[in-house]
Structure 1
Amino acid sequence: MQKSLIVALDFPKKQQVDHFLSLFGEEKLSVKVGMELFYQEGPTIVEALVASGHQVFLDLKLHDIPNTVYHAMKGLGKLGVSMTNLHAAGGSEMMKAGLEGLREGAVIAGKYVPSLIAVTQLTSMTEQRLREDLLVGASMNETVLHYAKKAAEAGLDGVVCSSLEANMLMEELGNEFRKVTPGIRMLGDDANDQKRVVTPKDARKLGATDIVVGRSITGAVDPVQAYKSILQQWQGVEIG
């Protein structure tokens, strides 16, 4: 499986996205469109990115009753994205319905079926918050593993998790099960609202299959150089 570095386009407006991507010239990136951008610009921003040749991870984290998620995913399947997601906490039936809708939408539009992954626990969540806010008695690792197994049983391609859980999931579910990991920071970067964070180098060693990086690139003085440095760490390139 090819390991990808996904750049989080956490901007509110298309103009900011266009400016950021222009810094990379003709290079095609793997990018994440999340709630902030999608809810401001709608499906047209996704269609524009896909048409430009970028690989798009549409990060909307759907979580609703199975029928609603089925119909929503049917619409998302028509957009030509490479990957999208939902919350594993929605349960097995919701995940299966989402996968069914995604496949149907892609077939109707004549697109490849995107990868579908499930969010286990957000990387802003801590063990303490898991107990006190969500009243979950199991540990973080137990919760993440349980959700990941349910996602695999539902036919999904992988999960969103912290890199700290990636090795455990690799041992239980194999190398081909995707472990898409946000919460990536270079040494010295501000963690912001993320709690379970690691460097790109550590994410690689821990068994992540994909990393999602936002502010360490988009907020850098030189985003292109920051991207290259993170990519080198992620790919295991030793710098002289």
Structure 2
Amino acid sequence: MKPEERIIVALDVPDEQSAIALVDQLPQVGFWKVGLELFTSTGPRILELLKSRNKRIFLDLKFDDIPNTVAGACRSAARYGVDLLTIHTTCGRDALKAATEAAQSGAAQVGLKPPKLIAITLLTSISARQLAFDLKIPLELPEYILEMALLAKETGVDGAVCSPQEVAQLRDTCGNDFLLVCPGVRPIWADMGDQKRSLTPAQAMQAGADYLVIGRPITAASDPGLAWQSISEELTAIA
């Protein structure tokens, strides 16, 4: 892939009108993330609109429920023809296995390629202190994330979402066939926002990330097209 094809731009807007305006403003972007806010507002219509423009889709709904429920959700989502789909590793081994099988069967029912199922290891807004004191997890943060990624790999999940700071360790342990998707990426000129474990786009890619999910540094910029170009050039320089 070309470096710019590894950037997934987060379509974190509240409604269809805002989403389409942003997509039209950035025609050079080929891969968009649709999250909870937008999907709850528009339903699958936003996916249909993106597909009609030949865009790739990262459907980031972070399913987390009992095995039967997440299987049903993944089966339905796979019928939309999305490229990436997220599920929390905390739903457990049985649910992860069920989700993987359901995504494949759902896509097969409508003659589509199944989405890559991507496991959430730990939200990038959570710090090591919060993991220990708020969530009461006794493991160190890197160890916890590694255990979650290994669980995902063992159950047939295609990859994991992790912060850029964990990419190198997961790449070394999980291998080159395990997709690593990194949100929380921030160019050196961008505000950190609510991200606690961030790196620059170039640093994340050099560490072994397959895809970078970037939202506000592009979408909230005074000139989104210029911000996109700047990040693309940063990645091209290290390719």
Same fold (TM over 0.5): yes
Per the normalisation by structure 2, the TM-score is 0.95
Q: Distance in 1 between matches of 2:236 and 2:100?
A: 31
Structure 1 residues 173, 134: closer, same or farther in 2, change over 3 A?
same
> Is 1:148–2:122 an aligned residue pair?
no
Contact 2:202 2:238 in 1 (8 A): no
Q: Distance in 1 between matches of 2:134 and 2:104?
A: 35
What is the aligned counterpart of 1:15 among 17, 22, 26? Answer: 17
Q: Distance in 1 between matches of 2:37 and 2:236?
A: 29
Contact 1:203 1:234 in 2 (8 A): no
Q: Which runs of 5+ in 2 are unaligned?
A: none
Q: Shift of the alpha carbon at 1:188? A: 3.0
Helix, strand or coil at the partner of 2:185:
coil
Q: Distance in 2 between matches of 1:169 and 1:40?
A: 34
Per the normalisation by structure 1, the TM-score is 0.95
Mapping 1:168-179, distance limit 5 Å: 168-179=169-180
Q: Distance in 2 between matches of 1:57 and 1:135?
A: 31
Matched letter for residue 71 of structure 2: Y
Q: What do the CA deviations read for 1:32-90 (whole angstroms, capped 9, x no partner)?
A: 00001000000111121112100000000000000000111110010010110100111
Instruction: Give the number of aligned pairs.
Output: 237
Q: Distance in 2 between matches of 1:31 and 1:102?
A: 20
Contact 1:28 1:53 in 2 (8 A): no
CA RMSD of aligned residues (A): 1.4
Helix, strand or coil at the partner of 1:159:
strand
Specify the alignment match of 1:207 in structure 2: 208
Q: Distance in 2 between matches of 1:49 and 1:56?
A: 8
Runs of 4+ deviating beyond 4 Å: none
> Is 1:236–2:237 an aligned residue pair?
yes
Q: Shift of the alpha carbon at 1:236? A: 3.0
Q: Shift of the alpha carbon at 1:182? A: 0.4
Contact 2:9 2:29 in 1 (8 A): no
Structure 1 residues 237, 220: closer, same or farther in 2, change over 3 A?
same
Q: Shift of the alpha carbon at 1:28? A: 5.0
Q: Which runs of 5+ in 1 are unaligned?
A: none
